[in-house]
Amino acid sequence: MPRRKRPEGTRAPNGASSIYLGNDGYWHGRVTVGTRDDGRPDRRHVQAKTEAEVIEKVRKLERERDEGKVRQPGRAWTVEKWLTYWVENIAAATVRPTTMVGYRASVYKHLIPGVGKHRLDRLQPEHLERLYARMQQNGLKAATAHLAHRTVRVALNEAKRRRYITENPAKVAKPPRVEEEEIVPFTVAEARRILAAASRMRNGSRFIIALTLGLRRGEALGLKWSDITVTWKHGCPKKSACRTAYRAEECEQRRGSGTLTIRRAIQQRVWKHGCPDAKPCGHRYGAHCPQRHSGGVVATDVKSRAGRRTVGLPHPVVEALEEHRARQQVERETARDEWEEGGWVFTNRWGRPVHPTVDFDAWKALLRTANVRDARLHDARHTAATMLLVLQVPLPAVMEIMGWSEASMAKRYMHVPHELVTAIADQVSGMMWPEPEPGDGRDTAESGPELTADQVAAIRELASTMPERLRVRFEAILSDDAGGDDPLVGGVVPT
User: Annotated active-site positions, please?
Assistant: 216, 233, 378, 381, 404, 413
CB atoms within 10 A of CB 306: 15
CA distance 373 to 395: 29
Beta bridge mates, 21: 27
CA dihedral 483, 484, 487, 490 (to 10 degrees): -60
Q: Calculate the dihedral angle through the C-alpha atoms of 454, 459, 465, 469, rounding to the nearest 10 degrees.
A: -160
User: In this structure, is the dihedral angle defined by the CA atoms of residues 228, 414, 379 and 418, taken in order, positive or negative?
Assistant: positive
Cα–Cα nearest to 232, from 242, 214, 210, 247: 247
Q: Which stretch of DSSP H or E encloses residue 114?
A: helix 112-115
Q: How crowded is residue 191: how many other Cβ atoms within 10 Å of its Cβ?
A: 19
Distance CA 118, CA 124 (A): 9
Q: What whole-number distance in Å separates Cα of residue 224 and Cα of residue 344?
A: 4
- Angle (CA) 444-446-448 rounded to 5° is 60
Dist. CA 486–CA 171, nearest whole Å: 89
How much is the CA Rg of the chain, to the nearest whole Å?
38
CA atoms within 13 A on the CB side of 263: 10
Measured over the CA atoms of residue 219, residue 224, residue 229 and residue 233, the dihedral's sign is positive
Q: Is 91 exposed, middle or buried (0-12, 13-18, 19+ CB in 10 A)?
A: buried
Cα distance between residue 161 and residue 69, in whole Å: 10
Positive or negative torsion for Cα 343, 344, 346, 347: negative
Distance of CA 112 to the CA centre of its chain: 30
346: how many CB neighbours lie within 10 A of its CB? 23
End-to-end CA distance of the chain: 102
Spatial separation of the C-alpha atoms in residues 380 and 207, rounded to whole Å? 8
- Give bridge partners of residue 120 from the DSSP assignment: none
